[in-house]
Amino acid sequence: MTGKTIDGKAFAGDVRAQVAEHVERLKKDHGITPGLAVVLVGEDPASEVYVAAKHKQTVEVGMASFEHKLPADVSEEDLFALIDQLNEDPTVHGILCQFPVPDHLNERRVVARIDPNKDVDGLSVVNAGLLASGEKGLVSCTPLGCLMLLRDQVGNMSGMDAVVVGRSNLFGKPMAQLLLGENCTVTIAHSRTKDLADVCRKADILVAAVGRAEMVKGEWVKPGATVIDVGITRIPHPDKPGKTKLLGDVEFATAAENAAAITPVPGGVGPMTIACLLANTVTACCRAHGLEEPTGLTV
């Protein structure tokens, strides 16, 4: 029996609909429009596509979208001056700088310059520390999206064994913290984990985020487990010359034979990232104005 395929695209649509309802309520009841500012440095084609998608979805839910495109050779001083300006702007509730940035700029310094209360990517040391301490901050969008999918699919996760394959600051560590917050017993596995297959087989919840195509084999999946595949690797399409194909970190077809539910690639985790970016912006807006936060859109 094949496990259920988790439709991240449809779920992300539901999240955006909830965001739109909250935005409408903020406008109607308080005269406030949440605003998201995106800073793009240089002309990376993939980044331009992502920024365009973020702008489109921001506008669709009724929020204000502020786009700032800077030349590839912009100085750190000038970039920081823009970020400082956005930090002080009361109409901007969320700020993100699209990564990667050119080599002469330091991503950690860029993130550190953003007001943590407007850091809707949840990447700052402050927000990471708040998450680790069990305090309220802004949570990195992709882990937050995965948590939403798990809450919807699994419900109460208390006492479950969860394995996160990947230990990055961007995803692995915050995902583990979120699962701890759900009272899971959490193992963080990585490239140096001994007997990785055996570690994965113990997981009721298996989250793969290493960026290696189909590294997690179907036989590594415990029967009845829920599998969240965060990886995206683009390879030449085997049947369509000149085209590419996206693969996840999990060998989907064989894993689906064991899993109770599994996210596909594409169409699983990916759509949730922008949806959670919008949710974080609404949350940041409510906190800035001392208003009740939307339920179900944060932790």
3-state secondary structure 222-257: CCCCEEEECCCEEEECCCCCCCEEEECCECHHHHHH
- CA gap 101, 124 in Å, rounded: 16
Let me know whether 180 and 258 are in one domain: yes
Let me know whether 182 and 89 are in one domain: no
Q: Is residue 19 a part of any domain in this protein? A: no
The pLDDT, as a whole number, for residue 299 is 83
Per-residue pLDDT reduced to its tens digit, 182-199: 999 999 999 899 999 999
Q: Is residue 286 a part of any domain in this protein? A: no
Let me know whether 160 and 115 are in one domain: no
Let me know whether 146 and 114 are in one domain: no
**Domain around 182:** 141-271
The pLDDT, as a whole number, for residue 271 is 94
For residue 222, indicate whether it is catalytic.
no
Phi, psi of 152 (to 5 degrees): -70, -40
Per-residue pLDDT reduced to its tens digit, 106-139: 999 999 999 999 999 999 999 999 999 999 999 9
Let me know whether 115 and 174 are in one domain: no
Let me know whether 153 and 252 are in one domain: yes
Nearest to 276 by CA among 120, 59, 42: 120
Asked whether the bond before 102 is cis by omega within 30 degrees of 0, the reply is no
What share of the chain has pLDDT > 70, as a percent?
100
Residue pair 269/149 in contact (Cβ under 8 Å)? The answer is yes
CB atoms within 10 A of CB 285: 27
Among the candidates 123, 158, 183, a domain finishes at 123
- Residue of higher predicted confidence among 85 and 49: 85
The active-site residue, picked from 18, 54, 204, 229, is 54
pLDDT for residue 165 is more than 60: yes
Q: Is residue 171 a part of any domain in this protein? A: yes
Per-residue pLDDT reduced to its tens digit, 279-292: 999 999 999 999 99
Give the count of domains, the chain.
2
The active-site residue, picked from 18, 57, 98, 153, is 98
For residue 153, indicate whether it is catalytic.
no
Band (68; pLDDT cuts 50, 70, 90): very high
The active-site residue, picked from 57, 115, 119, 121, is 121
Average pLDDT of the chain to the nearest whole number:
95
Q: Is residue 135 a part of any domain in this protein? A: no
The pLDDT, as a whole number, for residue 1 is 54
- Averaged pLDDT for residues 33-60: 93
CATH of the domain at 248: 3.40.50.720
Q: Is residue 255 a part of any domain in this protein? A: yes
The pLDDT, as a whole number, for residue 185 is 98
For residue 98, indicate whether it is catalytic.
yes
